[in-house]
Amino acid sequence: MKKLGILVSGRGSNMMAIINACEQGAISAEVELVISNNKDSLALVLAQEKNIETAYLGSSTHPDLEALDNAMNEALIAHDIDLVLLAGYMKKIGPKMLASFKGRIINIHPSLLPRHGGQGMYGLNVHRAVIDAGDKETGVTIHLVDGEYDKGAILAQKAVAVAADDTPESLAARVLKVEHVLFAETIQKIIDGSIILPGV
Ligand code: GAR
């Protein structure tokens, strides 16, 4: 059984979609470890309620970026993690972890990348940018993670129509439902070999 490590920063609805899909057998893997860079994130509480091991690793536990990178890397290696999922994780991944888990770190982003990605483009900011740009279509992207925000190879995308009366909040809610489905489907495709990642 493949072992998943999930990195989170906030409320963790994508993390829960993955945990539930594993429990229901829609993903043939186990979530072994959840790491948050935010000690107050709801995701940590939700993971603990599911008896999943959690760790808080962030700027107050490791003020030095290199030390933080090492600590995350070591925690993931100690849990024998096969695939690392960024599920609403808002920080860059350090070089140590990128090297150890090369081609095995994936991120979900709430737009059709390359549109509306990059630094500062997270959460409602993304949906506000979509509406401000007058886009008729947005969506969800699952991609490999490299050293830059939202830049790695795209593994899956799904479009969502933007309605004329959408607010950032209404759009975020509709896109989030698609995120939960596409993330789980894509992870299972990686695990069953329909999407081939070199390291998995
Ligand atoms: C999700 O919409 C995810 O796509 C987005 O943050 C939200 C986290 O929600 N990620 C980014 O914007 C990454 N740049 P969740 O904690 O409920 O899964």
Same domain, 14 and 91: yes
* Position in ligand 1 atom list of the atom nearest CA 13: 17
- 173-193 CB burial, b ≥16 within 10 A, e <16: ebbbebbbebbbbbbbbbbee
Residue 10 CB–ligand 1 contact under 6 Å = yes
Same domain, 7 and 88: yes
Same domain, 52 and 118: no
Q: Whose CA is nearest to atom 16 of ligand 1?
A: 12
Domain count of the chain? 2
Same domain, 121 and 64: no
**Which of 7, 19, 40, 109 for a ligand 1 pocket mutation test, highest count of atoms within 8 Å of Cβ?**
109
**Whole-number pLDDT of residue 67:** 97
Side chain identity at 11, as an amino acid letter?
Answer: R
Q: Whose CA is nearest to atom 18 of ligand 1?
A: 14
- C-beta of residue 145 within 8 angstroms of C-beta of residue 105: yes
Same domain, 28 and 62: yes
Residue 122 CB–ligand 1 contact under 6 Å = yes
Q: What is the pLDDT of residues 113-138, one digit of tens each?
A: 999 999 899 999 999 999 999 999 99
How far separated are the first and last CA of the chain, in Å rounded?
A: 12
Helix/strand/coil (H, E, C) string of the chain?
CEEEEEEECCCCHHHHHHHHHHHHCCCCEEEEEEEECCCCCHHHHHHHHCCCEEEECCCCCCCCHHHHHHHHHHHHHHCCCCEEEECCCCCCCCHHHHHHCCCCEEEEECCCCCCCCCCCCCCHHHHHHHHHCCCCEEEEEEEECCCCCCCCCEEEEEEEECCCCCCHHHHHHHHHHHHHHHHHHHHHHHHHCCCCCCCC
Same domain, 20 and 91: yes
Number of other CB atoms surrounding residue 163 within 10 Å: 12
CA of 90 to the centre of ligand 1 (A): 8
**Whole-number pLDDT of residue 150:** 83
Query: Picking from 10-14, 128-132, 193-197, which range would have the lowest pLDDT averaged per residue?
Result: 193-197
The whole-angstrom separation of Cα 34 and Cα 44 is: 7
Q: What is the pLDDT of residues 60-118, one digit of tens each?
A: 999 999 999 999 999 999 999 999 999 999 898 999 999 999 999 999 999 999 999 99
pLDDT-based confidence at 200, cuts 50/70/90?
confident
Same domain, 120 and 74: no
Same domain, 82 and 160: no
CA of 120 to the centre of ligand 1 (A): 12
Whether 109 is catalytic: yes
* Final residue belonging to a domain, choices 50, 72, 101: 101
Q: What is the pLDDT of residues 160-191, one digit of tens each?
A: 999 999 999 999 999 999 999 999 999 999 99
- C-beta of residue 162 within 8 angstroms of C-beta of residue 130: yes
* Position in ligand 1 atom list of the atom nearest CA 140: 4
Predicted TM-score (pTM) of the model is 0.96
Same domain, 122 and 70: no
Residue range of the domain that includes 198? 108-200
Residue 92 CB–ligand 1 contact under 6 Å = no
**Whole-number pLDDT of residue 111:** 98
Residue 183 CB–ligand 1 contact under 6 Å = no
